[in-house]
């Protein structure tokens, strides 16, 4: 018999974009949701208000995922607010685009500090503290398969996320915990749209056979499946939610 994890979730980077959509969707699915944020306190409070407005339970907790002590405090606060954690979604991440020859060491380090070290910190706490039968979901990117100039450091950081995800799934053997990544294609978020011209956005929107950008809700629907009872047999996978982009 498959274990049913507690209906309590942590969503990192949940104050905006995909993380926000995931937090709202999991709340609609019946989860009590800890809305993690790094600096956007007001935006996180808006997400909690939206969750409560739809009849759900939400709590905003500040933590920088790159700080291991902060992530430990995040899990402490989540357990104090809602009890044992059944689902962890690590949606916190940054994007900095530059050719390899031009990127600064500071920008490269920032990418890996948040995207890789941050994912590691969240996965480590989840592995130690998630209840048996739980679900862990990370965020990669479908750009890994495209080899676009300017995306190398960002794509490299997300490649590391996929490796961490797959190996943790095997390390948690016997506990009934699934560990998967979701890899969005071009998705209409502030993170994606920032710094791009209308022409670039239109070109990227035409790449998948669906001929549109994804929406945060498109990605949240996939996370909902992985976090829910129907997704329990999917493990150590990367789901490329991209409309056929790659």
Do residues 133 and 176 touch, judged by C-beta distance below 8 A? yes
3 pLDDT higher than 70: no
Residue 50: Cβ within 10 Å count? 16
Mean pLDDT calculated for residue range 76-80: 98
Query: Could you give the number of structural domains in the chain?
Result: 1
Do residues 118 and 157 touch, judged by C-beta distance below 8 A? no
The region, left, alpha or beta by phi > 0 then psi within -120 to 50, assigned to residue 214 is beta
Mean pLDDT calculated for residue range 223-241: 97
Q: Is residue 107 part of a domain?
A: yes
Q: Is residue 1 part of a domain?
A: no
1 pLDDT higher than 60: no
Q: Is residue 194 part of a domain?
A: no
> pLDDT averaged over the chain?
95
Whether 154 is catalytic:
yes
Q: Is residue 206 part of a domain?
A: no
Q: Is residue 57 part of a domain?
A: yes
Q: What CATH number does residue 143 fall under?
A: 3.40.50.720
Q: Is residue 133 part of a domain?
A: yes
Distance between CA 215 and CA 89 in Å, rounded?
Answer: 18
Mean pLDDT calculated for residue range 110-124: 98
Confidence bin at 4 (pLDDT 50/70/90): low
Do residues 98 and 150 touch, judged by C-beta distance below 8 A? yes
Question: pLDDT tens-digit profile of 188-227?
Answer: 888 777 778 889 888 888 888 999 999 999 999 999 999 9
Q: Is residue 23 part of a domain?
A: yes
Question: pLDDT tens-digit profile of 130-174?
Answer: 999 999 999 999 999 888 999 999 999 999 999 999 999 999 999
Q: Which of 135, 113, 117, 126 lies closest to 7, judged by CA?
A: 135
Query: 121: domain range?
Result: 8-187+217-239
């Amino acid at each position: 018999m498959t274990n049913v994890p507690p209906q309590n979730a942590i969503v990192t980077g949940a104050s905006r974009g995909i993380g926000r959509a995931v937090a709202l969707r999991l709340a609609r699915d019946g989860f009590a949701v800890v809305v993690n944020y790094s600096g956007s306190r007001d935006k996180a409070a808006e997400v909690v208000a939206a969750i409560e407005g739809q009849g759900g339970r939400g709590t905003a907790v500040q933590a920088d995922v790159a700080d291991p002590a902060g992530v430990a405090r995040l899990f402490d606060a989540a357990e104090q607010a809602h009890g044992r954690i059944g689902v962890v979604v690590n949606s916190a991440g940054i994007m900095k685009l530059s050719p390899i020859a031009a990127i600064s060491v500071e920008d490269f380090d920032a990418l890996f500090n948040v995207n890789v070290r941050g994912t590691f910190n969240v996965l480590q706490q989840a592995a130690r503290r998630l209840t048996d039968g739980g679900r862990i979901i990370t965020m990669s990117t479908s750009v890994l398969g495209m080899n676009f100039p300017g995306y190398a450091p960002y794509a490299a950081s997300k490649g590391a996320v996929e490796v961490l995800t797959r190996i943790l799934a095997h390390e948690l053997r016997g506990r009934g915990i699934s560990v998967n990544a979701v890899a969005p294609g071009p998705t209409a978020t502030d993170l994606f749209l920032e710094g791009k011209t209308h022409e670039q956005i239109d070109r990227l929107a035409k790449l998948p056979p669906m001929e549109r950008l994804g929406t945060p809700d498109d990605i949240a629907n996939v996370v909902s499946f992985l976090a829910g009872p129907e997704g329990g047999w999917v493990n150590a996978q990367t789901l490329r939610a991209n409309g056929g982009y790659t």
